[in-house]
Amino acid sequence: MRLNRRALLHGAAAGLVAGRASAQPAWPRQAVRIIVPAAGGGSSDPLARFGGQEFSKRFGQPFVIENRPGAAGNVGMTAAARAPADGHTLLFSWAGPLATNLALYRDLTFNSQRDFEPIVRFGSIPNAIVVGKNSPVTTLAEFIALARANPGTVSYGSTGSGSSMHLAGAMLAAATGTQLTHVPYTSPAAATTDVIAGRLNAMFLGAPGTVPLSQSGEIRVLAVLSEKRAAVLPDVPTTAELGYPSVVMGTWFAWLAPKGTPRPIITALNAAVNEVLDSPGRDWLLQRGLEIDDGAAGGPPENLQRFLASEIERHAALVRSAGITVD
């Protein structure tokens, strides 16, 4: 069910931008930077840029992307946490830096709940398990059978320890009682190349990224790790359909601001995103495989606050049960 997001807090947002909100000066007074804790070119970058463009239309100032990669997102997260809380720095981040990293890294210089004001959740992208075009495996059941017959020798690639791809493989192994060998890469492109060439048995790609490769015949998509079918892969069954409802993994995205950012600014940004989700802009998001309905995006900041708390707990449990560590 689609929410009536357009009206959500919109009056308060308009008052702030015009400088009419009581005791609150007009905002923004200058360009706003959006910190993205990753290099350009990944799945987060176009989403952040799209959001920045929509904010610029609504608030009359440039919203400029600042890519801050390093340490699996920890560098950018720290920079955002230490930024002035005046509404002129925002954070666009996702499950790894916001939830998984809290369980993976010691002595982090930020805390997702303590150091940030939640603004709004911006949707999610499920993972899908894929094999190369020459793989003898054609179904998830066949992949599981192969893994059971060859314990420890069936491999899957990821973008690093603790990534959603890594967690997806660990979840599938645990649910099926198999032993899969994790092979971390520094980029998804390199891992995907090895899957296509048959040097890796499988990979857990974001569902939208599988579409062109599947259409060209370079890979075979076995299942989407989700409770419902992905809009971009309507003919591919889900793990829930295939008897593994606990094997659900993907990447969700969120907008946040440094702790202490004035509430009227948070309200204005939240209202802007909710408006985008009910505008023609939603089609742009859906076409890129972002799940934004049924609570996956939008709503008040408190929704993101509750969701983040639950995801931090869930990812900590996944990391513990899989015995995942980083050097």
SS (H, E, C) 166-203: HHHHHHHHHHHCCCEEEEECCCHHHHHHHHHHCCCCEE
* pLDDT on residue 3: 46
Give the pLDDT score at 25.
Answer: 64
Phi, psi of 47 (to 5 degrees): -65, -45
Which residues have a Cβ under 8 Å from the Cβ of 268 and sit 6 or more positions away?
A: 12, 13, 16, 17, 27, 59
Positive or negative CA dihedral for 241, 244, 246, 247?
Answer: negative
122 bridge partner residues? 297
- Give the pLDDT of residue 160: 87
- CB-side neighbour CA atoms (13 Å) of 134: 8
Structural domains in the chain, sorted by start: 10-125+251-322 (3.40.190.150), 126-224 (3.40.190.10)
The structure's pTM equals 0.89
d(CA 281, CA 293) in angstroms, rounded, equals 14
Cα–Cα dist 230/207, whole Å: 7
pLDDT in tens, 107-151: 999 999 999 999 999 999 999 999 999 999 999 999 999 999 999
CB atoms within 10 A of CB 239: 27
Residue 319: phi and psi, rounded to 5, are -65, -45
Rounded to an integer, what distance in angstroms lies between the CA atom of residue 197 and that of residue 218?
9
Q: Which residues of the chain have pLDDT under 70?
A: 1-25, 327
**pLDDT digits over 27-60, tens only?**
999 999 999 999 887 788 999 999 999 999 999 9
Q: Are 154 and 147 within 8 A, CB to CB?
A: yes
